[in-house]
Amino acid sequence: MKNNAIKYEQIFTEYDKTISIEINKDPLGQQLIWTHFGQKIFKNKTTSVALDIRSYNINLFHHYIIYKLREKDKNLSHLFSNRFSLKERVERVLLLLENIIIWSWWNNSDNPSWERNGLLGTSKASIWKNEIINIDLLSDIPKLQLLKNQKSLGVNGRYKRPFMEMKFFTSKYDYESDGCRGKELFDKFEKEILKKNKDLASLVESMIEWLLNREIYSMPQDFITKVFGKTNTLAKITKDFWLENLGLRESPAKEIYDILNIFVEDNQKVKYSVKTIYSSDVIKYDSKVKDIKAVEPRLTYLYWLFEYLLCCHDEDLEIIDKELFHYFNKYKNLEKINEENLFRLAEINNIVDAKGLIKYHQKLMEQRQKSFWIKINENMNDKIKIFNKSKKNKKTIIEKLDKEIEAIDWINDYYIRSIMNIKMGLEVA
Q: What is the pLDDT of residues 104-117, one digit of tens each?
A: 777 776 666 667 66
Is residue 85 one of the residues assigned to a domain?
Answer: yes
Q: What span, in angstroms and rounded, lies between the C-alpha atoms of 390 and 313?
A: 10
92 vs 213: which has the higher pLDDT: 92
Specify burial of residue 12 (Cβ count, 10 A radius: 0-12, 13-18, 19+).
Answer: exposed
- Please tell me the predicted confidence (pLDDT) of residue 270: 63
SS3 state at 249: coil
Phi, psi for 238 (deg, rounded to 5): -100, -5
Q: Which residues pair with 384 in a beta bridge?
A: 376
Domain check: are 314 and 234 in the same one? no
Point out the domain boundary residue: 214, 230, 246.
Answer: 246
Is residue 33 one of the residues assigned to a domain?
Answer: no
Is residue 343 one of the residues assigned to a domain?
Answer: yes
Is residue 273 one of the residues assigned to a domain?
Answer: no
Domain check: are 50 and 192 in the same one? yes
Specify burial of residue 332 (Cβ count, 10 A radius: 0-12, 13-18, 19+).
Answer: middle
Q: What span, in angstroms and rounded, lies between the C-alpha atoms of 358 and 376?
A: 8
Q: What span, in angstroms and rounded, lies between the C-alpha atoms of 142 and 10?
A: 12
Domain check: are 196 and 56 in the same one? yes
Domain check: are 85 and 166 in the same one? yes
pLDDT of residue 191 exceeding 80: yes
Is residue 267 one of the residues assigned to a domain?
Answer: no
Is residue 82 one of the residues assigned to a domain?
Answer: yes
Confidence of residue 429 (pLDDT cuts 50, 70, 90): low
Domain check: are 213 and 316 in the same one? no
Domain check: are 73 and 124 in the same one? yes
Domain check: are 240 and 162 in the same one? yes
The sign one gets for the Cα dihedral 123, 126, 131, 134 is negative
Point out the domain boundary residue: 246, 279, 306.
Answer: 246
pLDDT of residue 5 exceeding 50: no
Q: What span, in angstroms and rounded, lies between the C-alpha atoms of 180 and 165?
A: 9
pTM of the complete model: 0.86
Mean pLDDT on 359-372: 95
Domain check: are 300 and 399 in the same one? yes
Domain check: are 114 and 224 in the same one? yes
SS3 state at 376: strand
Give residue-wise pLDDT tens across range 246-290. 999 999 999 999 988 766 545 556 667 899 999 888 888 888 899
Q: Per 3-state DSSP, what percentage of the chain is helix, strand, and coil (rounded to 5)? A: 55, 5, 40
Point out the domain boundary residue: 194, 211, 246.
Answer: 246
Confidence of residue 19 (pLDDT cuts 50, 70, 90): very low
pLDDT of residue 398 exceeding 50: yes
Is residue 11 one of the residues assigned to a domain?
Answer: no
Owning domain of residue 202: 44-246
Q: What span, in angstroms and rounded, lies between the C-alpha atoms of 233 and 199?
A: 11
Name every residue whose Cβ is closer than 8 Å to that of residue 312 and which is 6 or more positions away in sequence: 320, 384, 386
pLDDT of residue 157 exceeding 60: yes
Domain check: are 309 and 239 in the same one? no
- Per the CB < 8 A criterion, the answer to whether 295 and 371 are in contact is no
Is residue 24 one of the residues assigned to a domain?
Answer: no
First to last CA, the chain: 57
Quick one: CA torsion of 16, 150, 210, 197, rounded to 10 degrees? -90
Percentage, residues of the chain above pLDDT 90: 55
- Please tell me the predicted confidence (pLDDT) of residue 416: 93
Domain check: are 87 and 167 in the same one? yes
Total domains present in the chain = 2
